[in-house]
Structure formats: structure tokens, C-alpha cells
Amino acid sequence: MNDGKKRDKKVFQLTRRKALKSLAAGAAVLALPSRDAAASVWDAFFQKHFRRMTRSDLEKVLARLEREYSQEYAQEVKVGVTPPIEGVKYGYGLDLSRCIGCRRCVYGCVEENNQSRDPQIHWIRVVRLKKEKGTDLHYAEHYYNPSQVPEPGHFYMPIQCQQCEKPPCTKVCPVQATWTEKDGIVVVDYNWCIGCRYCMAACPYGARHFNWAKPRIPNDSLNPQTHYLGNRPRPVGVVEKCTYCIQRTRQQPGRYPACLEACPVGARKFGNLLDPESEIRKLIENKRVYILKEELNTQPKFFYFF
Amino acid sequence: MSPWTNLSRVIRPGALILLAVLLTGAAAAQAAKEKYFDRSGTLVVVETPAAELLRAYEVKNLPRGETFPVPPPPFSEGIFPCSDCHAGMTPNLARRQLTDEHTDIVLNHAEGQRWCLDCHNPEDRDTLRLVSGEVIGFNESYRLCGQCHGDKYRDWRQGLHGKRTGYWNGDKQYLLCAHCHNPHDPRFKPLTPLPPPLRPEEIKL
Ligand code: SF4
Ligand code: SF4
């Protein structure tokens, strides 16, 4: 049995949640990995919070993860920690009058970000709305399946993490496993998350997703270029979400998010809110902008326009 | 004109407030310490690591000139250069039903007002011709479209209409109008959507 599998068996039965529970019950010893468990199990268990790790801590963790993923998926997997770019705050724009609801973005995202194919996880949900009802979400339907889109009398609104300036999800996390990075991206440390799902309850956009089972990704569809806080394969029992493709957009020069590249009608726009020449600023300055659930004061950095 | 004058057009004031928050927050944010509580409830203040990891914004979006990098125009197979056939032919300016060649082209684009040679240069078919008489290549066809669709042309130049690929803070490619719209029949054609998500009851663990 390789390290990765061992970890599944041992650590994932022994989640932090369970360990904490048994610690509280004074029976920690019973729940701890047995003596024959691989060293990496212990390393993973005692790993520090992402933001408390020093460079050398981080390097060890990344090396361990790369080794495990590479073994599990039978190919060389890279795990990066590319930091934010100074002077950048990412913003996303989506043209409601162009989106045809074809869901190309959904599947582009699944492939880029190594989402579980089975059980299925989609970070982007496209809802269909009735033109006569406007953006009233009571009429939102995301299981629509006509033979062709767009359909008369309807328009479509893809919803994903809005990377709120005031995110309710990060506030409620009891272990600070999720936070906002300097470039405005809300991230999760999957090794620190205890899977309590408070953040899911707090997110008004349904943008967080829980791994009820170990995510299944066929070896040949794994995207091996990953980021620690983004698209690396997730363990069972943690929450995950859209990170504006942190592994692509933090490159220098920065690539566009995968959903933007997948969209056949060019409805998706992306750029730096602090750069007056970027398309996201032009859009806010020249278009009619709509913000989802604005009344909640979450201050999304995702702008719908038309 | 300052960019702020245009902001009044934003229908939701929230966007404006948010932008103001973002802009003022930017300078302060870089020096800020990160604070959080760890599992045992101890307050942790992180100062150095994040700062030492920050990188400068090296590549800016420069204001664009009037030419745009585009991929090759989408010609039908074997049809270009047009002069292969048209070189020796006298242009026939009469509006008529085409019966010999190009019979597959259905003009469904203000067809009452328009005829092939309004856009295609009668003197040299390998080029296009603007209303002004200026001759341009197919790789600049956006200027031709922009003659009537000025608002879309402006949006396209700023990256708000149509599709740009490449890098959000670096070199970009702009798809030509004709990459998405058939110039003779420009309405976007419906697509088959990819499958809807599974309903919760269909998901097996
Ligand atoms: S499920 Fe959400 S709230 Fe709970 S530990 Fe994980 S990130 Fe934090
Ligand atoms: S790919 Fe583009 S057009 Fe299709 S649903 Fe997504 S945003 Fe809309």
C-alpha cells in the first residue's frame, strides 16, 4: 500500500474533527494512527496552519504532497504556492445579455480545478431565469436541459464564489481554515479544514462544496499543475470553492481563469480592479452593473453587467 | 475625461462604494499584519511571511493603440486569395441572385440595404473597402463592422464585447467579429448545453 492510500485509510478515518472529539473525551490515544503508519501520516497530522508555516515548513509540506499525488495519479504533479501580486485585486465580470447558458464554463472549471467527477462537484452553477421576472431568484432553475440554448423568454446567470470583500464564510470558521488573501481571493487550507461546514451555511451564494466522499478524478484527467490553496486534489471531508483559478491568475503574466477561456460567447471578463486600463474597470465605469444579493453587504468582486 | 465621471452610469451604487473601498484599501493593505486565532484560541499575528512573498505587479495593461493582435481571419477552405478566381473577371456591380458560385452564402444581414460589393473591394477582392473608400485587409475587418456597430466596436476595443484570450495583465489576442459571427448571417447560432448537474438524490457516495 502506498503512502497516499495509507493516508486515506488512516488519516481520513481519523479526521481532525474526530481527533478533537476524542481528545475532548480523553481518549485520544485510541484514535491516533498505529505505529506502522507512514511518517507522512504523522507529518500531515501535525502540519501547521498555512499562514504559520515558514518557508522550510512549506517546502517540506509541498514535497510530501507532490510525492503523494504523483504516486496516486501516476504522473508528475506539481503543487505551487505562488503568492499574491502586489497592487492586484482581482475582479470578475459577466455579461448577462451575452451568456447563453451553455455550461461550457462549468465543465472547463471542473477539468482545470480537479473537481470530483464522482461524486459530482460543480463550483459553477448556471441558473436559468425568466426575462419577465428579471433577476428574481425565486424563479431560478439550474437543472434546465433543453436541446438548445438560449431559449426564448429566458436568460442565464452563472453563479460561483463572488470573492466577497466582506465574506461571511471566513468569519464563521471556528479554526480559521479559510481566509482572504491580499489579492482578494478567498481560499481554504484543505489540510486545516475540519469539515464542520459552518462556512457553507454562511455563504449566501451556495458557492462552497463539501467532499462527502473521497473525490474521484480519473488519472488521465487530472490537471497536474496545482496550487496549494487552489486546485490540488482535495481529501474527503473538506470544503472547497472557486479561487478565480489561483494557479493560473497568479502567474506572471497572469493567465485568464479557465471558465473565461471556455466561454464561447465571450461573456466573461477578468482583470485587476486596481488597474484603470483593465477590462474589469472599464466595465464598471461604462456598463450597468448588477451585484448579486447586494442588500447583504457582502461586497462581491463579481460584477454582472448588461 | 476622468474615469469617475462615467461612474454615475453604474445603476447600483453598491458597485461604486465597493470600488472606492477597494481603491483606498489597496495602499493600506500591503503593510497590514495578518491576525487570527489558532485552534487553542491563541491570537496569532503574522507579519513577515506574507510580505516577503508578495511580488510586484510587473506587467501592466497599457492603453491600447488602434491596431489589435488578432488570429488569422476565418476563411472557408480553399477560398482565399479571392484573386485566384476574380483576377480576370470584370466586376458586376448589379445586385442579383448568385447562381454559379457562392450559392451557399445567404445574406441575412440588413440584406435590403446591402450588397457584396459594399464591403468587398470591387477592384481587389483580396481586400475589404470602407465607406470612406479606404482599403483594408481582412485582418482589420473590425473597422468595417465598426462603421455601423460603433457601440460594439468601442466595447470590443476595451475588451468588453467579444472574446480576448492570452493574459489578463499581458499580451492578449482579440477574436475578430467574424470569428464568432458569420458576417453574412451574424446572429449567434444556438448551442447544445452541456449536461445539468446531478440532483442530490442522484449522487451516490
Ligand atoms: S468547513 Fe468551512 S467553516 Fe468548517 S473548518 Fe472547513 S473551512 Fe472552516
Ligand atoms: S460558458 Fe459562457 S455562455 Fe456558456 S454558460 Fe458559461 S458564461 Fe454562459
Nearest atom in ligand 1 to the alpha carbon of residue A202 is 3
Closest C-alpha among A304, A306, A287, A269 to residue A90: A269
Is the predicted pLDDT of residue B54 greater than 80, yes or no?
no
B15 vs B95, more confident: B95
Return all residues near A159 (Cβ < 8 A) that are at least 6 apart. A124, A125, A126, A127, A205, A206, A207, A292
Q: Give the closest residue to B172 by CA, choosing from A279, A185, A90.
A: A279
Weakest-pLDDT range from A13-27, A51-65, A142-156? A13-27
Query: So what's the pLDDT on residue B203?
Result: 85
Tell whether ligand 1 has an atom less than 6 A from the beta carbon of residue A237: no
Contact A290 B11 (CB under 8 A): yes
Which residue's C-alpha comes closest to atom 4 of ligand 1?
A196
Subunit contact A281:B193, Cβ cutoff 8 A: no
Cα A98 to Cα A4: distance, rounded to the nearest angstrom: 44
Considering chain A, what percentage of its residues have pLDDT values greater than 90? 75
Query: Residue A248 — pLDDT band, cuts 50, 70, 90?
Result: very high
More confident: A2 or A290 = A290
| Ligand 2 pocket residues where CB is under 6 Å | A 99-105, 126, 156, 158, 262-263, 265, 267-268
Higher pLDDT, A63 or B47: A63
Interval B135-191: pLDDT, tens: 988 888 999 999 999 999 999 988 899 998 889 988 888 888 988 898 999 888 899
- pLDDT at position A166 is 95
Task: Say which residue, B23 or B143, is predicted with more confidence.
Answer: B143
Strands A268-272 and A90-95: antiparallel
Which atom of ligand 2 is nearest the CA belonging to A262?
Answer: 1
Q: Which pLDDT does position B12 carry in this prediction?
A: 47
Contact at CB, A51 and B36, closer than 8 angstroms: yes
**Residue found by looking up cell 483559478 in the block:** A245
Q: Is the CB of B49 less than 8 angstroms away from the CB of A54?
A: yes
Which pLDDT score, from 0 to 100, does residue B204 have?
A: 81
Quote the mean pLDDT of chain B.
Answer: 75
Q: Identify which of A81, A285, A299 has the shortest CB distance to residue B21.
A: A299
- For residue B115, the model assigns a pLDDT of 85
Closest CA to A275 of B161, B127, B64, B61: B61
Q: How far, in Å, is the centroid of ligand 2 from the Cα of B106?
A: 28
Q: What is the pLDDT of residue A28?
A: 45
Rounded to the nearest 5 degrees, what angle is found at the Cα of A122, between the Cα atoms of A116 and A125?
Answer: 175
CA distances from A295 to A174, A292, A299 (A): 26, 9, 9
Q: How far is the CA of B160 from the centre of ligand 2 (A)?
A: 15
The pTM for the full model equals 0.80
Mean pLDDT, rounded, of chain A: 89
Q: Give A185-200 pLDDT, tens digit per residue.
A: 999 999 999 999 999 9
Taking CB atoms and an 8 Å cutoff, what residues of chain B touch A150?
Answer: 190
Query: Does A154 or B92 have the greater pLDDT score?
Result: A154
Could you tell me the maximum CA-CA distance found in chain A, to the nearest angstrom? 65
Nearest by CB to A264, from B63, B155, B191: name it. B191
- Counting atoms of ligand 2 from 1, which one is nearest the CA of A268? 7
Give me the interface pTM, i.e. the ipTM.
0.83
Contact A269, A95 (CB under 8 A): yes
**A48, A86, A187, best to mutate vs chain B, most B CBs in 10 Å:** A86
Using a CB–CB cutoff of 8 Å, tell me whether A303 touches chain B: yes
pLDDT at B38 exceeding the cut of 50: yes
**More confident of the two residues A96 and A44:** A96
CB atoms inside a 10 Å sphere around CB B205:
8
Report the nearest atom of ligand 1 relative to the CA of A178. Answer: 7
Q: Whose CA is nearest to atom 2 of ligand 2?
A: A263
| Closest partner CB to A291 (pick from B15, B61, B167) | B15
Q: Is A186 in the pocket of ligand 1 (CB under 6 A)?
A: no
The minimum CA-CA distance between A14 and chain B, rounded to whole Å, is 17
The DSSP call for residue B63 is P
Q: Which residues of A136-164 are buried (b: 16+ CB within 10 A; e: fewer)?
A: eeeebebebeeeebbbeebbbbbbbbbbb
Nearest CA in chain B to A85: B55
In this complex, the residue of A51, A53, A256 whose CB is nearest that of residue B168 is A256
